[in-house]
Amino acid sequence: MFSDYTMAELGSIFAMQGFAGLSLFSVFVLMALGLAIIFGQMGVINMAHGEFMILGAYVTYLCSNLFSEYLPGLFSIYFFLAMICAFIASGALGMLVEWAMIRHLYKRPLDTLLATWGLSLILQQTYRSVFGAREVGVTIPDWMMGALPLTDIVEIPINGIFVMILTISITVAVYFLMYRSGWGKQVRAVTQNRVMAGAVGINTERTDRLTFGIGCGIAGVAGSAFTMIGSTGPTAGQLYIVDTFLVVVFGGASSLLGTIASAFTISQAQSSIEFFLSGSMAKVLTLLTVVGILMLRPQGLFTLKVRR
């Protein structure tokens, strides 16, 4: 299939394809980070993860309307503020949900699956009643759309770069929070042994609530960023949930490094297969590979060494 093209064309297409893989990688990491905290650290199977993302997207939509209506001068930078609002809104809703529902279910982890699935249906219908069944269009500032032309074939999408930078900063922040801060130590202590952590004076309830809130907040930021590349509608969260769980489970639930490695593997595999075969085949082959590897290594790619 390559005989028709010159070396220069091939070179640039591989460069662009590499970039496509990287941007898919950062999308996956961004989707999965929030869930990696909630599922990986707390063991809560949060089926409503996608709906927390879409809440972030709707907040972005509201911000874009607000700015174009009242502060058109600042419209070009509204996106940053929208992301902060999305974090706060999703985080607050997450803490509320933890307080009202999740905290009663820590001893019954499988029940969280049903409870959060129910929550996702409730949230979907709420979005539908509030924002209407149709998708809403989020206007993105002009400078964030479009591409940087490097050569006449190689063009790098600006929103791809934006998502990449965002992903790196959030990953670094999460890393420091989880592994380099006192709060992170508390979170990990509570996850490993709730009773013991309580006994040494950690306020386990507060830690749980904050952890869940931060996980949901990150989902909100992801949702906000995805208004650049995807749709915003009541059920759009469902588009992400399968991929998100796939990345987290494949990576080994309780490891941040695992999540990143697994997002990298899946995204690179998928985007190269998409290029050489077709979209549907890529999905099938990727899923088959993941299932195969999980059969050999049920704990995922990376696991923490913990004494049981």
- Residue 210 makes CB contacts below 8 A (sequence gap 6+) with 95, 183
Q: Please, are residues 49 and 40 in contact by the beta-carbon 8 Å criterion?
A: no
**Contact call for residue 245 and other proteins (CB under 8 A):** no
Closest CB to other proteins among 232 and 262? 232
What is the closest distance, in whole angstroms, from the C-beta atom of residue 292 to other proteins in the complex?
Answer: 20
Binding residues among 264-293 for other proteins as defined by CB under 8 A: 270-271, 274-275, 278-280, 282-283
Q: How far is CA 67 from CA 54, 82, 109, 138, 241, in A?
A: 20, 10, 42, 12, 30
CA 256 – CA 26 distance, rounded (Å)? 14
Binding residues among 152-181 for other proteins as defined by CB under 8 A: 153, 155, 157-160
Q: Which residue has the tokens 């650290």?
A: 41
Number of residues that bind other proteins (CB under 8 A): 50
Q: Please, are residues 40 and 184 in contact by the beta-carbon 8 Å criterion?
A: no
**Contact call for residue 188 and other proteins (CB under 8 A):** no
Closest CB to other proteins among 21 and 34? 21
**Contact call for residue 239 and other proteins (CB under 8 A):** yes
What is the closest distance, in whole angstroms, from the C-beta atom of residue 125 to other proteins in the complex?
Answer: 7
Q: Please, are residues 208 and 98 in contact by the beta-carbon 8 Å criterion?
A: yes
**Contact call for residue 223 and other proteins (CB under 8 A):** no
Q: In terms of C-beta density within 10 A (0-12 exposed, 13-18 middle, 19 or more buried), how is residue 8 classed?
A: exposed
Where do contacts with other proteins occur on this chain (CB under 8 A)?
Answer: 5, 9, 13, 16-17, 19-20, 23-24, 27, 125, 128, 133-139, 145-147, 149, 153, 155, 157-160, 226, 228-233, 235-236, 238-240, 270-271, 274-275, 278-280, 282-283
